[in-house]
A and B are shown apart, each in its own frame.
Chain A
């Protein structure tokens, strides 16, 4: 990367970060800490609001299938992150059917 491009990128990254702060801050309450938290927020919010996740009424098995469905439709999860994302969603959002 040239010096000029590095500078441009840094500027754009700063702008993006500033724009993302309120969103992540707001999401902090709804999305507990976890290894895949930021991946979930970034990947899922590309196509829909993250409240779809918090409002969903899914058990663990349904969360797994929903994640696979979303990935197949184009949610850009990396293979290395797949199981982390699945576990994060189940641990934090799956309803207990008992």
Chain B
């Protein structure tokens, strides 16, 4: 479709040719007409509907702000920088755009990322020209998750750029090319709305991703510029691509003929709003479901057909007499080759991204399209190929077996959480208590080591709790900022941020400043085991020289023993330290009361360590003070 729109805008094809092309690409006639109406305004020489554009005269920053507002943006996430000056001038006359300030570019991107994920809207941010390197770790996370972000910065003035002098590099964009879907340096200030529009469009179209636009500061200050600003209506091009109907029929046959299919769900399911349709498909065929490591819960995790993350398939196979013979990947980028039980299987892959399909695994069937459309089409196809009675005969036993297995495993986990107690607090008891105390529709933003820690205890579904995180990129330093963004997007739902002590110490204190300044009531829960657990397990379990010598060089965090409530107190955020399981419930309740009063809260839960090296507090001893020749 992108090519068709490009050809239409560049007058390489006619309107009729565009409609024919859309039809050939499996768009419905209504979708094609709608797309044509939307892009018509962009076609050179065409009549632009009067409500599609308006003329704006002002500074470069005015043009930028006006176009941002036209996309429907409510917030502009910013970080301090002298290039923000002209934008601040413009905001005097544009009070409808609310600034949310962060104190570090990396956390700004995390806040914007959380906002975009929770709101399903594109988030806008702006930071200093030299802030780009700081932003890049969470820019990487956002790119991995295909989160739609538009990030601006100022840039050296035209008479300075390219000189490698003060605050300038020859090629700023090279460093973030892999982390951005599109990037541009503006050289004609009158075209600012055009670049804002394009950055928004490119970031938003699935699969999305961050875009970055750099604007010379004197362009932002330049006055009396006149340009056309395009309305949101002109920017909304429907992208609900339907899959090829013959391929759908083929995939439906494969699924019906399979003795033991498995549905593997990934984040595109949530990004395309396909969860409900996918539940219907899974229930129709009684397909057990497993979850890719995703920043959403892409299938209700307490559903009788939900068996867990991929390793859980092994246990399901123990109670299932028929090995998996058909693997349906819905919206995950995953190299299936590593799993022995998938080798030789019939694999079907559905994705919005043609670049993803078949990239890592040979396929029996490829379904390119909007995943809600794919799911709906598969349901229709299955129903057209078999009667309800035939489907029931094929699926009844599998449905019952899977439900019995998942109910047993789930009950064991809940029992394990409820029975765990002591000092320090077993983490599973913390999760159990949180689930008991939180609202039914609370949002859990997590940046812990394994998704099992949350997926096992909180029921996530469209009508239950919502899970956001951990990022697919897994670069730590995202979750606290992201939770602030999530709360901005969903102000009427409880939001908690689940952090490890190690993860929090990845420079996330900065976002407490933002939470405090703007009264963003998020409860940050630090599972504080004074250790990087995954690192410790790697070092101590591999039997290498460090493990044999009982030397864990990097994982122990207990010296200094950080009290996270004191960090929060520096930002005027109240908190509580919890040392044993008996203290959990009252501390959580106090935190929730604080949220109700409109303030953030910090819960520092001292959790029990487990596994190899759990008892170690050794680290390479070094004191610079002892190496001084002068005590200064």
Interface residues of chain A, those whose CB is within 8 Å of chain B, are 1-2, 5, 8-9, 12, 42-43, 46-48, 61, 64-69, 71-74, 76-82
Contact = CB atoms under 8 A, between A and B. Distances in A.
Contact of B610 (A12, A43, A46, A69): A69
B302 to A, nearest CB: 14
Contacts, number: 89
Contact of A68 (B321, B407, B420, B457): B420
A96 to B, nearest CB: 19
- The 3 tightest CB contacts between A and B, nearest first, are A76-B315, A79-B411, A72-B428
B386 interface: no
Contact of B416 (A9, A43, A72): A72
13 contacts: A1-B321, A46-B314, A48-B541, A66-B610, A68-B428, A69-B416, A71-B412, A72-B416, A72-B453, A74-B312, A76-B308, A80-B408, A82-B416
Contacts of B311: 46-47, 74
A83 to B, nearest CB: 9
Contacts of A69: 416, 420, 426-428, 608, 610
B450 A79 contact: no
Contact of B419 (A9, A47, A68): A68
Given A5-B259, A9-B322, A46-B315, 6 more contacts: A1-B321, A65-B420, A74-B308, A76-B409, A80-B408, A82-B416
A48 B540 CA distance: 13
Interface in B446-462: 450, 452-453, 456-457
A79 B323 contact: no
**B interface, over-half SS:** helix
B387 interface: no
Nearest to B307: A76
Contacts of A64: 419
Contacts of A65: 420, 422, 426, 608
B266 to A, nearest CB: 19
B365 to A, nearest CB: 21
B417 A68 contact: yes
Contacts of A73: 450, 452-453, 456
A61 B407 CA distance: 27
A78 B453 contact: no
A74 B410 CA distance: 10
A77 B409 contact: yes
Contacts of B541: 48
Contacts of A9: 321-323
Nearest to A68: B416
A29 B311 CA distance: 28
B259 A1 contact: yes
B415 interface: yes
Nearest to B314: A46
